[in-house]
Amino acid sequence: MTTSGSVADGEASPDGPTGSTRRSQRVTISDLARRLHISKASVSYALNGRAGVSEETRQRVLDLAEELGFHPNSAAVALSASRTRTIGIVVARDPELISTEAFYMRTLVGIEQYLNEVDSSLLLRLTGEHGEDVDVLRRWSRQGRVDGFILFDEHDDDPRIPVLQELGVPCVVVSSNAPDDTVGRLISSPAETVSLLLDHLAELGHRDIAHISGPFTFVHEQLRVQILQEQAARRGIAVRQIEGTYRYDDGAELTRQLLSGPNPPTAIVLGNDLMAVAALRVAMDLGTAVPDEVSILAWDDSPLCQLARPGITAVDQKTMERGRAAADLLLRIVTGETELHEEAPGGELRPRESSGPARP
């Protein structure tokens, strides 16, 4: 990753040593990182003389850069010199929901930690949910206040991406898929999380589960539902799909309907930690034993899941690490990186007391 006045992706010099590459072949920071089996951020730190890497690693990077004839791309250096060293995030969500949902808080912490390390800043705005975010993107872009944007919650016919492409402003979409739309994307496919949850439930004997998701308007929720249904069918598990809103009250009401109706499911998977806590509370209010009568699982882990009693089984989505990765990718794109897509860190299942064997 590079910062203002720093080394950006470059090319093998026509006059430099060739090593194992041809002199005309472009050499990037990504190539150096791949050859040395270290992160691109570590390569950038070493090239720019920044703290964050050992002297041994720094020397290995410098030696390989010299061997391959790596030098800064002049266009990227010019761009770097004119940067604001500020990235923008405009979130079109109800502030009350954001203040209680751990996903955004932990993601923003990861972004801020990373930007602090590379001496850059974050400009954040919370807007309404009726297109105000697009107005802010246009205004900040035209005013030159940021170098690029990180976008969350992509939805069908999302207007933000074509607007930023029209304005020529880089962006990174925290995405669940990888369409060929020439914009930066941190790819976090739900397939891995689905496998973790379904394998866990299958081992416990569950064959009839419910999934209370977030709004279907979001691309990542559409893909979650599709992959969950496909993988569940292969495992012989029936899934009742219910659309939710991520809100506590919604999770509580939908759980109450499931557990009060005929043939309640043996397990409920909820789209975020807040709805999972609501489901646990409703089960207790109804006298439904967790996990003896119903297992409760959350798509996202958080302190809420850890502190609940019983503790709620959840998937640690590595949200802080994903925030860091999104910021790193955006700043590399700003300074000339041509690799637009990067895989997000994988999740990890955190089994707790809320999941147990399916009732007979």
Q: Which residue has the higher pLDDT, 327 or 336?
A: 327
pLDDT, mean of residues 325-341: 90
Asked whether residue 15 carries a pLDDT value surpassing 50, the answer given is: no
Q: 171 and 159 in contact (C-beta within 8 Å)? A: no
Q: What is the spatial distance between Cα 213 and Cα 193, in angstroms, rounded to a whole number?
A: 14
pLDDT score recorded for residue 2: 37
* Residue 153: both structure tokens together: 């919650």
pLDDT, mean of residues 104-110: 91
Q: What is the spatial distance between Cα 59 and Cα 81, in angstroms, rounded to a whole number?
A: 26
Mean pLDDT of the chain: 87
- Could you please report the per-residue DSSP string of 71-94? EE-HHHHHHHHT--SEEEEEE-S-
Asked whether residue 141 carries a pLDDT value surpassing 90, the answer given is: yes
* Residue 247: both structure tokens together: 């809100």
∠ Cα 45 46 52 (to 5°): 50
pLDDT tens per residue, range 23-81: 335 677 778 888 998 877 778 778 766 666 788 888 898 889 888 887 655 444 444 55
pLDDT tens per residue, range 267-282: 999 999 999 999 999 9
pLDDT tens per residue, range 176-205: 888 888 899 999 989 999 999 999 999 999
pLDDT score recorded for residue 80: 52
- Could you please report the per-residue DSSP string of 89-124? EEE-S-HHHHHH-HHHHHHHHHHHHHHHHTT-EEEE
